[in-house]
Amino acid sequence: MSCIAVIGTQWGDEGKAKMIDYYSTSADIIVRYQGGANAGHTVVTNEKKYIFHLIPSGILHKDKTCVISNGVVLDPEQLLAEIDMLAKDGVEVAGRLYVSDAAHLILPYHKALDAAMEEASSKKIGTTRRGIGPSYADKALRTGIRVGDLLDEAYLRERLDQALKIKNVHLEKVYGMKPIQPADVLGMLLGFRDRIRDMIINTQNFLYQSLRQNRSILLEGAQGDALDIDHGTYPYVTSSNTTIGGALTGTGLPPFAIKEVIGITKAYVTRVGEGPFPTEDLGEIGVMLREKGGEYGSTTGRPRRCGWFDCELLDFARRTNGLTSIALTKLDVLSGLEKIRVAVNYEIDGKKLDYCPTSHLGHITPVYEELDGWSEDISTCNHYDDLPSRAKEYIRFISNRLDLPVSIVSVGPDRKNTFAML
């Protein structure tokens, strides 16, 4: 049985999609298991740049099967937009994209409430406004509507009527917004059902049977470790478990099926939205990283906050996910810096901490070590040996500090700018 999980180790946007695309070549099935269209997974092929919000990035490999499993919150309009975008480019998904009957739907009222709550709040989270929080809240409240409900129209009507009774009170009375008519949502949902009917399956069973048939599975995490609803920098987090537990509950796979957990790690750190960020650089380095690294949200276009590599944050990801290796991305962005800082410890009130606190991260001070930078452009390197010695030193430093092997290094957006280390 072979199953690999790929997880972001920072606050998202670590370059996961590119790595998933890389690992997809040796997988039979690629699974998105949590989050929703808040994610923006960018893959650059020879021909084109694709941004996927829901469909696993592995769909571009025409011999692969892709699954959106039960842990995902699914925006019907977004899914259809992605299917249509792929069809235009001759990428057919029929017969190789499956959607869990237990995945919850993101409906127009979830998006309206997400935006309204942000607008009304004096302490904003900075959500993507894609309806993620309200949809997961409905799941927990047991008032959500699932993909499988689409197959029973009478039941669907009943669920929708019930949900809208409450949602419209919120929309109208709390936020002064227009109520949403059940007929409008129902019409959209029935149209959606007609297009995806053949894709709806019990993905837990499908994945389990696939494992038994020795098919290899790649689990595609969205967002990053520090945005986890339980282990992240609450309340500045997303509403799902982005850590390894989410891969299990979000698929129903047995825990020991996962043989490798690869932490996708950017060579510096970024964060989009509000919340603590100990190594953020508010000066010219932060600006340089943003511009050179193209650090603008692929879902919202928002500028990302940028800063130095943080070993404590990474160590936290190592512990919470049981990382077996890391894939280091965007190393090329650091070229040209005379000195590169790396946070190696945290201090609070002058005392060293031996863990990464997620609730008072705003009060800690990072302790830095400074490494020599390199001036060479490394974006055309396609082997470890081609790297300048100081870039190699940077990789070694991170690997030694975390006591983790670096399995892959990426030095540019294209598929070919990637090389294996192990």
Q: Are strands 200-201 and 97-100 parallel, antiparallel or unpaired?
A: parallel
Q: Which long-range contacts (CB under 8 A, 24 or more apart) does 349-354 make?
A: 353/312
Q: Judged by CB under 6 A, which of 4, 6, 9, 13 binds ligand IMP?
A: 13
Cα 240 to Cα 237: distance, rounded to the nearest angstrom: 9
Amino acid at 23: Y
Taking each helix axis as running N to C, give the angle between helix 153-169 and helix 108-120, from 0 to 180 degrees, rounded to the nearest 10.
Answer: 20
Q: Which stretch binds ligand IMP (CB under 6 A): 90-98, 126-134, 161-169, 179-187?
A: 126-134
Query: What residues have CB less than 8 Å from 67, skipping those under 6 apart?
Result: 29, 30, 31, 32, 56, 97, 98, 99, 100, 203, 206, 207
13 assigned to active site: yes
Distance, C-alpha 289 to centroid of its chain: 21
Structure tokens at 354: 């031996």
| Contact call for residues 381 and 392 (beta carbons, < 8 A) | no
Q: Judged by CB under 6 A, which of 5, 6, 7, 39 binds ligand IMP?
A: 39
Structure tokens at 383: 């082997």
Q: Which stretch binds ligand IMP (CB under 6 A): 38-46, 81-89, 139-147, 246-254?
A: 38-46
DSSP secondary structure of 287-303: HHHHHHTT-B-TTT-PB
CB of 144 to ligand IMP, least distance (A): 16
Nearer to ligand IMP, 70 or 223 (CB): 223
Q: Is the dihedral of CA 268, 272, 276, 281 positive or negative?
A: positive
Half-sphere exposure of 219 (CA within 13 A, CB side): 39
| Per-residue mark of binding to ligand IMP, 295-324 (x: CB under 6 A) | ------------------------------
Nearer to ligand IMP, 191 or 235 (CB): 235
Q: Judged by CB under 6 A, which of 128, 135, 279, 320 binds ligand IMP?
A: 128
Greatest Cα pair distance in the chain: 66
Nearer to ligand IMP, 127 or 265 (CB): 127
- Secondary structure tally for the chain: helices H, strands E: 11, 20
CB of 216 to ligand IMP, least distance (A): 25
Question: Is residue 108 within a helix (H) or strand (E), and if so which, with residue range?
Answer: helix 108-120
230 assigned to active site: no
CB of 125 to ligand IMP, least distance (A): 5
Residues between 171 and 230 that touch ligand IMP (CB under 6 A): 222-223, 227
Structure tokens at 366: 């990072």
Q: CB nearest ligand IMP: which residue? A: 273
Nearer to ligand IMP, 111 or 167 (CB): 111
Nearer to ligand IMP, 182 or 245 (CB): 245
| Per-residue mark of binding to ligand IMP, 242-281 (x: CB under 6 A) | ------------------------------xx--------
Q: Judged by CB under 6 A, which of 9, 38, 100, 417 binds ligand IMP?
A: 38
Nearer to ligand IMP, 66 or 229 (CB): 229
CB of 422 to ligand IMP, least distance (A): 27
Distance, C-alpha 85 to centroid of its chain: 21
Cα 379 to Cα 187: distance, rounded to the nearest angstrom: 49
Cα 154 to Cα 135: distance, rounded to the nearest angstrom: 22
Q: With binding defined as CB under 6 A, does residue 20 bind ligand IMP?
A: no
Q: Which stretch binds ligand IMP (CB under 6 A): 6-14, 65-73, 95-103, 249-257?
A: 6-14
Q: Judged by CB under 6 A, which of 32, 64, 110, 130 binds ligand IMP?
A: 130
| Contacts to ligand IMP by CB under 6 A | 11-13, 38-40, 125-128, 130, 132-133, 222-223, 227, 236, 238-239, 272-273
Active site residue ranges = 13, 41
